[in-house]
Amino acid sequence: MSVSEQLRFAYRYPFSSAARSIVAASGLSLGHVSEELVGQARSWLLRKPGEKKPVLSDSAFSRKLEEEVLSFPVAKAIVSQTNASVLMDGFALSVAYWCSESVQKEDPSGLLDLAQELGLKPDLLKAKPILVCILVPDFVQAAAGVSSLKLVNQRVENGNVFLGRSEMEAVLIELIRSRVRSSLPVKIGPVPSLIAQAANEVVNEHKKRRKATALEGIQGTIVPSLFPDCMKELYSRLQEGRNVPHLGRFSVATFLLSIGMKSADVVALFAKTPNFNEKLTRYHVDRLAEGPKGKVSAPSCAKLKEYGLACTDCRFKHPISKYVHNLKNGGENPADH
Amino acid sequence: MDPPVFLQQQFARFYSSHPLSVESVEWREFGTGEWKQKISSRHMAFGSQEEFNRFLAERAPLYVSASAAYYEHPSAKPMEAKQWVKGDLVYEFDADDLKPECFLDHTFWSCPHCQTKGKGAPDYCSSCGERVQVEEWTCPECLKATRRELFRLLDVLEQELGMREGFSFNFSGNKGYHVHVRSPTWQFLSPKARVELVDYLSGSGLEWPKLGFEARSGGFRLPSGPQSGWSRRTYDYLNSLLAEGDYAKIAALGGVREADAKKLLNDPSKVLVALSEGFVPSGLGKKNEAFWMKLLSAALECNRIRLDRSTSIDSSKLIRVPNSLHGETGLAARVLSREQLKEFEPLHEAVVFGPDSVRLEGVRAPKFFLGGEFFGPFADESAELPLFAAVYLLGRGNAHGIVV
């Protein structure tokens, strides 16, 4: 790869080893970053998903290179400093979106270069509609959790997954997201004031942007008849003293705690189960309510599906969203309960 | 003598003379169970096989399980402090998940409220509507069905997923089998990746159009090009169903009249050619889509591997230590080579206790098979039984006590 090609690759993929080499060669130090660079880094963090890359003329390329490639590690430092996993998730997603435009423009050998950069070793087949094949463990490790890339819906034989162009692109974009996310938070020594200040600004800006979630309005409103069907089933099983498997217990407990049920009430709900042990139940429920990482979130519908607990006809992505929807549209006034 | 005390005495004697060997013992978390509770204590760790075996001989737990996961600090609490390093893939098959035909013949329910009894496994009493208690038994036939499912799993793991090394098999000690895969290619998979494998095996989340199967007006489209994985198995199912030419079966599976099925298969050889070419014309009108979708559902039901999902996806799962004793049966979770597995008779070959006679009180059991012979039925009576059968009944809770 020539220097110019390396620069262009780094611009397209700022997480890459090519980009890291450029940053290292520039002698960038977080203690001495310019306000301009911090400003550019902040724009990484406030970029909206789907925002398009500017088309660069050759003359603008070098300048943009500095703004984009060098600002990327600064952006990582800022988002790490926020200590907010939701912002780190958003940043990783935003970078993946940003790169997806370039991924879609790559020719097959460019896709292979990128795959290699991301630790994947596909074999190029060029037999339309199949482009590449990847070993099953590499595929599931890369694409797990992306609903459009479920292994069960792929062509699988003899230890290989056969992918068309668009599927391969989707795998790479997901790998970019997970590569960036797993690199966060970055550990930095003493935090330069510009970085700390930028982190505060980013947090405040996100707070402003964030609409008041519906959840805030429903805390403590427990209306079992309006629970989504999956939770209604688990809840009624517990009330009837029927056995509920471990993952079902976990799911319903985190759901109830998330909508504001008190820990003691959750423990009481489990009292009728055949193997009830109050001390043990209280310990687990308390940990779900106030563990070392705060309250444990209720599993999403995708997770519930993994557990075999989801309702088949539910169009929601999270049982809490469905509950909020039911509360608002279910014909019952929460205030009555 | 109380059953738990008697069982522990027997288990201690067994463990004193039959040391176990746990692969990578020092990296695993252990849990033990007591009377009627498979895991009552966990977060234990052992530095060596000797230490582990000393523990078994001294404490004689009725159940002993180890993590599929390898941890930096296996005894640390809470779970995240253990620091996961890697984890075996584990697949578990139980007869009660598979519910083969014989299973309902030796599954009994009773209503604690109105004392009504019956065969099968309903949730509620047919007389009073109260929740019932279910008692499951096993027989050689349902354990064979479980083993067949295990071999179906191996076919898919090897031929489709390319898993070819690191397999270890053992009887569960009760109603099924466990498969452990200890290969570095697979041990580092994330929890989500493990879910993908389970979804693949069980057909969960399968979307027919994505595999190229689609019911269209006037017919049914199949994937073109080389068949692989689920599409090959689905194609094979449909091909053999249609080649069989059993109109009544096809009509029942597809939810149409037998006459419609006959019309579709008027010329079976043409239908099979059309199937191989990727489009089967079928003049079923409005019923067309529902008909083919029902046949696809039947293909899914036939081809899915019916394994215990939670065992495979729970990264903190503790699973019975191979070759240890099952507290509910006294049978050993025998480790088996692939060859041994083919002929293994669990209710005979997993028996470890001897034939010495023991008198039990309050024995309640249907006729059951163990150690190569039939026993019972017993209706709340005292009975003289060989030690292995006595342990089996006491562990299950089908006898009240032992006359010493």
Collect all residues of chain A within an 8 Å Cβ-Cβ radius of residue B80: 292
Domain co-membership, A222 together with A329: yes
Query: What pLDDT shows up at residue A336?
Result: 35
- How many CA within 13 A on the CB side of residue A213? 9
Domain termination residue (choose one: A121, A154, A175): A175
> Per-residue pLDDT averaged across A244-266, rounded?
89
Domain co-membership, A192 together with A53: yes
**Distance from C-alpha of B320 to C-alpha of B326, rounded to nearest angstrom:** 8
Burial string for A45-71 (b: 16+ CB within 10 Å, else e) reads: bbbeeeeeeeeeeeeeeeebbebbbbb
Domain co-membership, A33 together with A171: no
> Per-residue pLDDT averaged across A81-96, rounded?
89
Residues facing B177 on adjacent strands:
B93, B171
Q: Angle between the B229-244 and B268-277 helix axes, to the nearest 10 degrees? A: 170
* Range name among A180-194, A268-282, B198-212 with the lowest pLDDT average: A268-282
Task: With respect to residue A331, please indicate whether it lies within any of the assigned structural domains.
Answer: yes
Q: Choose the mutation target among B156, B165, B192 for the interface with A, i.e. most A CBs under 10 Å.
A: B192
Q: How confident is the model at residue B377 (pLDDT cuts 50, 70, 90)?
A: very high
**Which 105-144 residues of chain B touch chain A by CB within 8 A?**
123, 131
Domain co-membership, A76 together with A110: no
> Chain A residues contacting B, CB < 8 Å?
135-137, 140-141, 143-145, 147, 150-160, 162, 240-242, 245-247, 275, 287, 291-292, 305-308
Residue range of the domain that includes A7: 3-83+185-209
Mean pLDDT score of chain A = 83
Query: What pLDDT shows up at residue B297?
Result: 96
**Distance from C-alpha of A322 to C-alpha of A319, rounded to nearest angstrom:** 5
Alpha helices in B247-318 (DSSP H): 247-254, 258-264, 268-277, 288-303, 309-313
Question: Which of A205-214, A309-318, B222-231 has the highest average model confidence (pLDDT)?
Answer: B222-231
Q: How confident is the model at residue B349 (pLDDT cuts 50, 70, 90)?
A: very high
Q: Hey, CA dihedral for B351, B357, B361, B362, is it positive or negative?
A: positive
Smallest Cβ–Cβ distance between A144 and the set B123, B195, B226 belongs to: B195
Whether the per-residue pLDDT at A213 is higher than 70: the answer is: no
Residue of A nearest to B224 (CA): A129
Task: With respect to residue A21, please indicate whether it lies within any of the assigned structural domains.
Answer: yes
Instruction: Give the gap in angstroms from C-alpha A146 to the nearest C-alpha of chain B.
Output: 10
Domain co-membership, A13 together with A72: yes
Query: What pLDDT shows up at residue B324?
Result: 98
**Stated length of chain A:** 337
Collect all residues of chain A within an 8 Å Cβ-Cβ radius of residue B159: 157-158
Domain co-membership, A321 together with A233: yes
Asked if the Cβ–Cβ distance from A154 to B162 is below 8 Å, we say no
Task: With respect to residue A99, please indicate whether it lies within any of the assigned structural domains.
Answer: no
CB A175 within 8 A of CB A114: no
Is B204 an interface residue toward A (CB < 8 Å)?
A: yes
Whether the per-residue pLDDT at B362 is higher than 90: the answer is: yes
Domain co-membership, A246 together with A324: yes
Domain co-membership, A219 together with A202: no
Collect all residues of chain A within an 8 Å Cβ-Cβ radius of residue B86: none
CA B238 to chain centre: 27
Smallest Cβ–Cβ distance between A137 and the set B189, B195, B206 belongs to: B189
Is B189 an interface residue toward A (CB < 8 Å)?
A: yes
Collect all residues of chain B within an 8 Å Cβ-Cβ radius of residue A153: 205-207, 210-211
**Which 216-245 residues of chain B touch chain A by CB within 8 A?**
226, 228-232
Collect all residues of chain B within an 8 Å Cβ-Cβ radius of residue A147: 205
Domain co-membership, A318 together with A230: yes
Q: How many CB atoms lie within 10 A of CB B55?
A: 17
Residue with tokens 């687990």: A284
Task: With respect to residue A199, please indicate whether it lies within any of the assigned structural domains.
Answer: yes
Burial string for B310-321 (b: 16+ CB within 10 Å, else e) reads: bbbbbebbbbbb
Whether the per-residue pLDDT at B86 is higher than 70: the answer is: yes
> Per-residue pLDDT averaged across B373-380, rounded?
92
Asked if the Cβ–Cβ distance from B313 to A307 is below 8 Å, we say yes
Instruction: Give the gap in angstroms from C-alpha A28 to the nearest C-alpha of chain B.
Output: 34
Is B37 an interface residue toward A (CB < 8 Å)?
A: yes
**Distance from C-alpha of B114 to C-alpha of B132, rounded to nearest angstrom:** 10
Residue of B nearest to A149 (CA): B196
Mean pLDDT score of chain B = 92
Asked if the Cβ–Cβ distance from B314 to A247 is below 8 Å, we say yes
Q: How many domains does chain A have?
A: 3
Peptide bond between residue A185 and the one before it cis (omega within 30 degrees of 0): yes
Question: What digits encode the pLDDT tens for the residues A273-318?
Answer: 777 888 888 888 888 888 766 778 889 888 888 888 877 666 788 8
Whether the per-residue pLDDT at A211 is higher than 60: the answer is: no
Question: What digits encode the pLDDT tens for the residues B22-62?
Answer: 999 999 999 999 988 899 999 999 999 999 999 999 999 99
Q: How confident is the model at residue A332 (pLDDT cuts 50, 70, 90)?
A: very low
The better pLDDT of the pair A255, A277 is held by: A255
> Per-residue pLDDT averaged across B239-258, rounded?
91
Query: What pLDDT shows up at residue A334?
Result: 36
Is B32 an interface residue toward A (CB < 8 Å)?
A: no
Whether the per-residue pLDDT at B208 is higher than 90: the answer is: yes
Query: What pLDDT shows up at residue B329?
Result: 97
Asked if the Cβ–Cβ distance from A307 to B309 is below 8 Å, we say yes
E-state strands within B267-377: 279-281, 318-320, 335-336, 357-365, 368-370, 373-375
Query: What pLDDT shows up at residue A333?
Result: 37
Asked if the Cβ–Cβ distance from B123 to A162 is below 8 Å, we say no
Asked if the Cβ–Cβ distance from B193 to A241 is below 8 Å, we say no
Q: How confident is the model at residue B226 (pLDDT cuts 50, 70, 90)?
A: low
Q: Angle between the A278-289 and A246-258 helix axes, to the nearest 10 degrees? A: 50
Residues 6+ apart with CB under 8 A from B131: A240, A241, A242, B123, B124, B125
Question: What digits encode the pLDDT tens for the residues A19-57?
Answer: 999 889 888 888 888 888 898 888 888 876 566 666 666
Query: What pLDDT shows up at residue A330?
Result: 58
Query: What pLDDT shows up at residue B316?
Result: 86
Asked if the Cβ–Cβ distance from B160 to A162 is below 8 Å, we say no
Burial of A36 (0-12, 13-18, 19+ CB in 10 A): exposed
**Distance from C-alpha of B10 to C-alpha of B388, rounded to nearest angstrom:** 10
Residue with tokens 């994947």: A120
Q: C-alpha angle B318/B319/B321, rounded to 5°?
A: 120
* Range name among A80-84, A90-94, A215-219, B382-386 with the lowest pLDDT average: A215-219
Residues 6+ apart with CB under 8 A from A283: none
Greatest alpha-carbon pair distance for chain B in Å reads 76
Which two tokens mark A100?
Answer: 């997806």
Q: How many CB atoms lie within 10 A of CB A330?
A: 13
Task: With respect to residue A75, please indicate whether it lies within any of the assigned structural domains.
Answer: yes
Which helix (DSSP H) or strand (DSSP E) does residue B400 occupy?
none
Greatest alpha-carbon pair distance for chain A in Å reads 74
Whether the per-residue pLDDT at B403 is higher than 90: the answer is: no
Residues 6+ apart with CB under 8 A from B102: B139, B141, B142, B145
The better pLDDT of the pair A287, A156 is held by: A156
Question: What digits encode the pLDDT tens for the residues B264-295?
Answer: 777 778 888 888 888 888 877 778 888 999 99
Instruction: Give the gap in angstroms from C-alpha B229 to the nearest C-alpha of chain A.
Output: 5
Whether the per-residue pLDDT at B133 is higher than 50: the answer is: yes
Q: How many CB pairs under 8 A join A and B?
A: 96
Residues facing B178 on adjacent strands:
B92, B170
Smallest Cβ–Cβ distance between B310 and the set A242, A245, A292 belongs to: A245
Asked if the Cβ–Cβ distance from B193 to A162 is below 8 Å, we say no
Collect all residues of chain B within an 8 Å Cβ-Cβ radius of residue A156: 160-161, 200, 228-230
Asked if the Cβ–Cβ distance from A152 to B197 is below 8 Å, we say no
Query: What pLDDT shows up at residue A125?
Result: 84
- How many CA within 13 A on the CB side of residue B135? 17
Q: What are phi and psi of A248, to 5 degrees?
A: -65, -40
Domain co-membership, A64 together with A200: yes
Instruction: Give the gap in angstroms from C-alpha B106 to the nearest C-alpha of chain A.
Output: 22
Query: What pLDDT shows up at residue A54?
Result: 65
Collect all residues of chain B within an 8 Å Cβ-Cβ radius of residue A243: none
Domain co-membership, A35 together with A170: no
Smallest Cβ–Cβ distance between A155 and the set B123, B200, B228 belongs to: B228
**Distance from C-alpha of B191 to C-alpha of A329, rounded to nearest angstrom:** 36
Question: What digits encode the pLDDT tens for the residues B145-194?
Answer: 999 999 999 999 999 999 999 999 999 999 999 999 999 999 999 999 99
Task: With respect to residue A180, please indicate whether it lies within any of the assigned structural domains.
Answer: no
Collect all residues of chain A within an 8 Å Cβ-Cβ radius of residue B200: 151-152, 156
Smallest Cβ–Cβ distance between B161 and the set A136, A141, A308 belongs to: A136
- By C-alpha distance, which of A336, A89, A314, A327 is closest to A214? A327
Domain co-membership, A221 together with A285: yes
Asked if the Cβ–Cβ distance from A308 to B309 is below 8 Å, we say yes
CB A70 within 8 A of CB A10: no
Task: With respect to residue A23, please indicate whether it lies within any of the assigned structural domains.
Answer: yes
Alpha helices in B30-115 (DSSP H): 49-59, 95-98
**Distance from C-alpha of B180 to C-alpha of B280, rounded to nearest angstrom:** 42
Burial of A219 (0-12, 13-18, 19+ CB in 10 A): exposed
Query: What pLDDT shows up at residue B124?
Result: 86
Smallest Cβ–Cβ distance between A141 and the set B193, B230, B231 belongs to: B193
Query: What pLDDT shows up at residue A76?
Result: 95
Q: How confident is the model at residue A62 (pLDDT cuts 50, 70, 90)?
A: low
Task: With respect to residue A20, please indicate whether it lies within any of the assigned structural domains.
Answer: yes
* Range name among A182-196, A280-294, B122-136 with the lowest pLDDT average: A280-294
Q: Choose the mutation target among B161, B190, B319 for the interface with A, i.e. most A CBs under 10 Å.
A: B161
